[in-house]
Amino acid sequence: MDWKKRLGPLGVAVAALIKYGPVILLKGKFFISILLFLGMYWTLYGWWFAVGLTGSVLLHEMGHYLMVRRFGFSAELPMFLPGFGAYVKWNGANVDLSVRAQISLAGPLFGFFSGLIAYGIFLSTGRPVWLALAQFAGWLNLLNMIPVFIFDGASAMAALGAQARMAVVAVSVAMFFTLQEFLFLFIAIATGYRISRRDYPSDPRQGIGYYFIGLIMANGFLSWFATNQAKTLFLNR
């Protein structure tokens, strides 16, 4: 007699655990990490900010995840690290630089959308916490565009040629003087460093350069606009 029949429901449960155990474990890690992340910021800043921040980080990471899957690579659901952020683990050897750049830039793109959603909720509810979240989303995603270390901008910059990198420097300097946001200065300096290294790709992608510039401008203006609206709300009270 089959052992699953002898054990009845317990046998079926054990068989399912053996078959789907790895999937359950992976998703369990995702849910546990996101709950810990949510709990930490709930304790520090309150429920609504914690929900908004967690949602913003989740949307950013899902941008990476969905783009990885779109290109046919395997990826795990985001893993959250309370106090640091989150990351998506994916497998892909010898990936084309433009593909890797699109995967990297999908995070700041989806992160920008999360800021727009937060701002929309602010307009609907009038709760200042959502305006703060919109500002933070723009600022955090702009920070992530600095092309050094493990930031998304670093791998995206690898697909840019000399002209595109110089354009990033020019736009970043102009945005710094326009918005008075020091992150643009850091982007310009880091990009200048990448120019000095001359680590240009053999087949630079101009479109990635436009994409890069568009994202730093979009996230920069989002952060600036939300900050100035918050100042106006504060002065009118």
Residues linked to residue 86 through DSSP beta bridges, in sequence order: 80
> Could you please report the per-residue DSSP string of 158-189?
TT--HHHHHHHHHHHHHHHHHH--HHHHHHHH
Q: Which amino acid is at 217?
A: M
pLDDT score, position 15:
52
pLDDT score, position 233:
80
pLDDT score, position 27:
64
pLDDT score, position 58:
95
pLDDT score, position 108:
97
Report CA 20 to chain centroid distance, whole Å: 29
pLDDT score, position 232:
85
Report CA 186 to chain centroid distance, whole Å: 18
Averaged over successive runs of 10 residues, the pLDDT of the chain (237 residues) comes to 44 46 61 91 91 95 96 92 90 87 97 97 94 96 95 95 97 97 97 94 92 98 95 77
Cβ-in-10-Å burial (0-12, 13-18, 19+) of 190 comes to buried
- How many of the other CB atoms lie within 10 Å of CB of 231? 10
Cβ-in-10-Å burial (0-12, 13-18, 19+) of 91 comes to exposed
Report CA 90 to chain centroid distance, whole Å: 15
Written as six digits, the tokens of 115 are 């800021």
d(Cα 85, Cα 48) in Å, to the nearest integer? 18
pLDDT score, position 63:
96
pLDDT score, position 84:
87
Written as six digits, the tokens of 128 are 């200042």
d(Cα 142, Cα 187) in Å, to the nearest integer? 9
40 Cβ contact list (under 8 Å, min separation 6)? 50, 82, 83
